[in-house]
Structures are given as structure tokens and as C-alpha cells.
Amino acid sequence: MTLKHSDELKGTTEGDGSRLSVSVLASGSRGNATYISDGRTAILIDAGLSGVEIQRRMARKGLDPNSLDAILVTHEHADHIHGVGVLSRRFGLTVYINDGTRQASGNALGKLSGIFPFSCGCAFAIGSLAIHPFSISHDAEDPAGFTISCNGAKVGLATDLGIATGVVKAHLKACDVLILEANHDPQMLIDGPYPWPLKQRIRGRSGHLSNDDTALLLEVLQHDRLSHVILAHLSEENNTPEKARQAVKTVLNGARVKLHVASQMDGSSILTLR
Ligand SMILES: [Zn+2]
Ligand SMILES: [Zn+2]
């Protein structure tokens, strides 16, 4: 399988069922959303911007919200669920969410068009996509990472995690595309403006991965078929795209992996697996 990094394929990725397209629409503490489709089934992982803003970002990339089938939710923090309820109602989308996350979301979701309560560790399918949810360590009720597999391709996503446990490493093995948190540069966090308790929370086992943590994780996960790594959920105060890139670059040295950094404003371009 070859992977094209391609805005030029935009508009031709739907319909033939032979490819998996991945695009981060937004990433960071002001909102997260990732689009994945094989041309038959299209999902969002998280919808942490307003519904209108997510539609606007999809339109900008040539993606049709009417083609969406479902929204998968990682955890209840506002930067992951802000637009979930609105989009579910507007486009009739089933929301795949575990019970802990749904209860912890309180009234933030409103009435949903459909609910599928998954359990971390139990695989399920959404149309033609095979989904494996797994537990991550974060200060939320029952936070999840996911792998999405289809047509022999596998995408792994883990953001908002304080440590990369054995469970995380096991699930993220053998991915073609990895979307991994690289939240902060440890020194910038320590020197930065946040109050000490918040710094401790971010650094803690249920906080966020530093650039160095991400590099160590990638060292374990790297393999021949890994084509693209998208660094995600970067802190705007305690990190820079250059620092994140630099930290993981040494680990990926010599590999043919393409490295991307997803931004809060623009997310990432559309990657298409052939
Ligand atoms: Zn978050
Ligand atoms: Zn969070």
C-alpha cells in the first residue's frame, strides 16, 4: 500500500471504497475534530468546535458533512464534545460514546440522534470501518483512544493522555498513520505562565504527553509500514510546531515516515491511503 499526501486528490477520495482518507480538522485545547472515511463510511472522531465551524472547515477541504455516518467521542472535555450534539441532530448522526463519558458530559450533548455505547477494549464496526477503542490515562471519566481499520489500512489516534501505557502501545502497533499528542515542551511548560497546580496536572499521569514522551512512544511504535505521523493537541502556550517536530525527528531519523503537525486553526491536510 502506498500513501499519498494529497490535497490534489481532494474530491476524488469518495466513492470507490478502495482508500482511507484522514484529515485533522482542528487540534488543540480550543477544539479537536478528525475526519476519517473510506469512501463508503465517514466518521468524525470528536467534534470539539461549534457545529457551524466544523461544517465550515469540512467545506474548506472539500468534505461533505452530509456524507458523515457517525461521531466517535474520546472523552467529555469541552474541546472534544462542543459540537457533537448539534451535528448529531443536524445530520442524523449516531454518537459512539461510552457510558462514563456520556454521563460525565451532563447536559452538554443535548438530545442525540442516536447513541451507541461502546466499551473500551471491545471492538465494533461503523459501516465498513473496524473500530477498536482502548483506555487511555487522562483526567476524564473513561477516556479512549481509537484505531480505525479498513481495506488493510490502520489509523491510530491517541491524544489527551498523561502516559503511554502498555495498552496504548499494544493497540497502536502496526498503524499506517498515527495521530499522536505532542502537547508540550517540558521546559516551556515549567517556564511558562500557567499556575503551578495546572503545570502539575499537565505533567501528571492523567495529563498530556510532552514532546519527549511522544518521541519515546514513536520509538516503540515505528515499523516499516508506518507512513505518516501527525503530531496533535499541541499547546499554544507551552509548545511550538518546531520544537515538537525536532523532538520526534531524531527518533524517525532515516525512516520514510512523513511528519505533520496539526494546528488549531487549520488542522492537517487530507492524507489518502491507496
Ligand atoms: Zn483535549
Ligand atoms: Zn482532555
Task: Answer for the pair 185, 205: CB distance below 8 angstroms, yes or no.
Answer: no
Work out the mean pLDDT of the chain and round it to a whole number. 92
Ligand 2 centre distance from Cα of residue 125 (Å) = 25
Mean per-residue pLDDT, 120-144? 98
12 pLDDT band, cuts 50/70/90, is very low
Question: What is the Å distance from ligand 1's center to 17 Cα?
Answer: 31
Q: How far is the CA of 152 from the centre of ligand 1 (A)?
A: 29
Least confident of 5-9, 86-90, 228-232: 5-9
What is the per-residue pLDDT for 252? Answer: 87
211 alpha carbon – ligand 2 mean position (Å): 17
Alpha carbons 126 and 268: distance in angstroms, whole number: 24
Ligand nearest to the CA of 30: 1
What separation in Å is there between the alpha carbon of 207 and the centre of ligand 2?
Answer: 8
Q: How far is the CA of 225 from the centre of ligand 1 (A)?
A: 28
Q: In this model, does residue 70 exceed pLDDT 50?
A: yes
DSSP codes, 206-228: TS--BHHHHHHHHHHH--TT--E
Q: What is the pLDDT of residue 66?
A: 97
pLDDT tens digits for 210-254? 999 999 999 999 999 999 999 999 999 999 999 999 999 989 877
Contact status, residue 160 vs residue 121, Cβ threshold 8 Å: no
pTM: 0.93
Tens digit of each residue's pLDDT (9 = 90 or more) over 179-205: 999 999 999 999 999 999 999 999 999
Cα(117) to centroid of ligand 1, in Å? Answer: 21
Of 19, 3, 24, the residue nearest 180 (C-alpha): 24
Tell me which residues have their CB within 5 A of the ion that is ligand 1.
79, 160
Query: Which of the four pLDDT bands, split at 50, 70 and 90, describes residue 273?
Result: confident
Confidence of residue 101 (pLDDT cuts 50, 70, 90): very high
